[in-house]
Amino acid sequence: MRLVVLGATGSIGRQTLEVAKALGIRVVGISVHTRVDAALKIAREFGIEVVAVTGLECVKPTALENVKLVTGERTVEQLVKLTAPDTVVVAVPGIAGLDAVLQAYPYVRRLCLANKESVVVGGRYLKRLLRDAGVEVLPVDSEHSAVLQLLEAARPVKVILTASGGALRDLSLEELENATVSQVLAHPNWQMGAKVTVDSATMVNKGLELFEAMWFFNLAPHQVDAAICRDSFVHAAVVFEDGVVKFHAGFPDMRVPIAYALTKPDRRWKGRVPELVGRSITFEPVPFDRYPAFALAKEILRERDTLKVGYCVADEVAVDAFLKGKIRFGEIYRMIEKVVESVEAADLDSWEEIEEALEATQRISKDVMRRWK
Amino acid sequence: MRLVVLGATGSIGRQTLEVAKALGIRVVGISVHTRVDAALKIAREFGIEVVAVTGLECVKPTALENVKLVTGERTVEQLVKLTAPDTVVVAVPGIAGLDAVLQAYPYVRRLCLANKESVVVGGRYLKRLLRDAGVEVLPVDSEHSAVLQLLEAARPVKVILTASGGALRDLSLEELENATVSQVLAHPNWQMGAKVTVDSATMVNKGLELFEAMWFFNLAPHQVDAAICRDSFVHAAVVFEDGVVKFHAGFPDMRVPIAYALTKPDRRWKGRVPELVGRSITFEPVPFDRYPAFALAKEILRERDTLKVGYCVADEVAVDAFLKGKIRFGEIYRMIEKVVESVEAADLDSWEEIEEALEATQRISKDVMRRWK
> What is the number of domains present in chain B?
3
Query: CB–CB of A112 and B262 under 8 A?
Result: yes
pLDDT-above-90 percentage for chain B: 91
Residue A68 in domain: yes
Helices and strands, number each (H, E), in chain B: 15, 12
Whether omega for the bond prior to residue A139 falls within 30 degrees of 0, making it cis, is no
Same domain, B102 and B158: no
Cβ <8 Å between B124 and A273: no
Residue A35 shares a structural domain with residue A53: yes
Which residue of B116, B118, B219, B286 to mutate against A (max A Cβ within 10 Å)? Answer: B116
By C-alpha distance, the chain B residue nearest A249 is B245
Tell me which chain B residues have a C-beta less than 8 angstroms from the C-beta of A15: 254-255, 258
Q: How far is A62 from chain B (nearest CA, A)?
A: 30
* Under 8 Å between Cβ of B165 and B230: yes
Q: Could you tell me if residue A257 is inside a domain?
A: no
Contact between chains at B312 and A247 (C-beta distance less than 8 A): no
Asked whether residue B314 carries a pLDDT value surpassing 80, the answer given is yes
- pTM, to two decimals: 0.94
More confident position, B66 or A275:
A275
Asked if B129 and B149 sit in the same domain, the reply is: no
Beta strands in chain A (DSSP E): 2-6, 26-32, 50-53, 68-70, 87-90, 110-113, 136-139, 158-163, 224-228, 234-239, 245-249, 280-282
Q: Which domain CATH number covers B314?
A: 1.10.1740.10
Q: Which of A120, A271, A282 sits opposite B308 (nearest CB)?
A: A120
Distance of CA B226 to the CA centre of its chain: 14
Angstrom distances, CA of residue B354 to CA of B209, B305, B313 = 20, 9, 12
- H/E element, B315: helix B305-323
Residues B311 and B281 in one domain: no
**Facing residue for B256 by CB, picked from A98, A244, A308:** A244
Whether B229 is covered by a domain: the verdict is yes
Q: Are B236 and B161 in contact (CB under 8 A)?
A: yes
Please give, rounded to a whole number of angstroms, the shortest distance from the CA of B158 to a CA of chain A. Answer: 10
End residue of a domain, out of B243, B266, B294: B294
Give percent above pLDDT 70 in chain B. Answer: 98
The average pLDDT across A191-206 equals 90
Within 8 A by CB and 6+ apart from A196, the residues are A205, B93
Q: A225 φ, ψ to 5°?
A: -160, 175
Q: pLDDT digit string (tens) for B79-135?
A: 999 999 999 999 999 999 999 999 999 999 999 999 999 999 999 999 999 999 999
User: What's the one-letter identity of residue A308?
Assistant: K
Asked if residue B180 and residue B60 are part of one domain, the reply reads: no
pLDDT, one tens digit per residue, over B264-293 is 999 999 999 999 998 999 999 999 999 999
Search chain A and give the residue with CA nearest B283.
A277
| Strand locations in chain B (E) | 2-6, 26-32, 50-53, 68-70, 87-90, 110-113, 136-139, 158-163, 224-228, 234-239, 245-249, 280-282
User: CATH number, domain at B12?
Assistant: 3.40.50.720
In a domain, B281, yes or no: yes
A286 in a domain, yes or no? yes
At B63 the pLDDT is 59
Interaxial angle between packed helices A204-217 and A305-323, expressed in degrees from 0 to 180 and rounded to the nearest 10? 150
Instruction: From B93, B114, B140, give the residue that closes a domain.
Output: B140
Question: Are residues B122 and B238 both part of a single domain?
Answer: no
How far is A157 from A218, CA to CA, in rounded Å?
A: 11
pLDDT at residue A64 above 70? no
Range of the domain at A337: 303-373
Q: Please tell me whether residues A226 and A309 are part of one structural domain.
A: no
Is A111 in contact with A101 (CB distance < 8 Å)?
yes
Instruction: Share the mean pLDDT of chain B.
Output: 94
To the nearest whole angstrom, how far is the Cα of A364 from the nearest Cα of chain B? 16
CB A323 within 8 A of CB A171: no
Please identify, among B98, B125, B140, the residue that sits at the C-terminal boundary of a domain: B140
- Is residue A218 domain-resident? yes
Chain A positions in Cβ-Cβ contact with residue B121 (cut-off 8 Å)? 308-309, 312-313, 354, 357-358
Q: Looking at CA atoms only, how far is residue A117 from chain B in angstroms?
A: 7
Please report the pLDDT score of residue B187 as a whole number: 76
Chain B residue whose CA is closest to A117: B312
User: Residue B209 — pLDDT band, cuts 50, 70, 90?
Assistant: very high
Q: Do both A111 and A199 map to the same domain? A: no
Are residues B368 and B338 both part of a single domain? yes
Chain B environment of A139 (Cβ under 8 Å) = 212, 216, 257, 261
Among candidates B43, B47, B70, B71, which has minimal Cα distance to B57? B71
**DSSP string for A68-99:** EEE-SSSHHHHHHHHH--SEEEE---STHHHH
pLDDT of residue B60: 77
> Does A245 sit within 8 Å of B274, measured CB to CB?
yes
Contacts of B356 (CB under 8 A, 6+ apart): none
A76 belongs to a structural domain: yes
Query: Hey, are the CB atoms on A147 and B124 less than 8 Å from each other?
Result: no
Task: Report the alpha-carbon distance of residue A247 to residue B249 in Å, rounded.
Answer: 8
Q: Are residues A176 and A131 in the same domain?
A: no
Q: Which residue of A has its CA nearest to B18?
A: A255
CB B179 within 8 A of CB B171: yes
Predicted confidence (pLDDT) at residue A218 exceeds the cutoff of 70? yes
Query: Does residue B128 share a domain with residue B36?
Result: yes
In chain A, what percentage of residues exceed pLDDT 70?
A: 98
Give the strand order in the sheet containing A26-32: A68-70, A50-53, A26-32, A2-6, A87-90, A110-113, A136-139
Tell me, yes or no, whether B148 lies in a domain.
yes
**Lowest mean pLDDT, pick from A6-10, A328-332, B188-192, B313-317:** B188-192
Strand-pairing partners, residue A65, are none
Q: State CA B136 to chain mean position distance.
A: 24
Torsion-angle region of residue B327: left (phi > 0), alpha (psi -120 to 50) or beta? beta
User: Taking CB atoms and an 8 Å cutoff, what residues of chain B touch A283?
Assistant: 276-280
Beta carbons of A19 and B259 less than 8 Å apart: yes
How far is residue A368's CA from residue A3's CA, in Å, rounded to a whole number? 67
Residue B245 shares a structural domain with residue B330: no
- Strands of B224-228's sheet, edge to edge? A224-228, A158-163, A234-239, A245-249, B245-249, B234-239, B158-163, B224-228
Model confidence at B62, pLDDT cuts 50, 70, 90, reads low
The pLDDT mean for chain A works out to 94
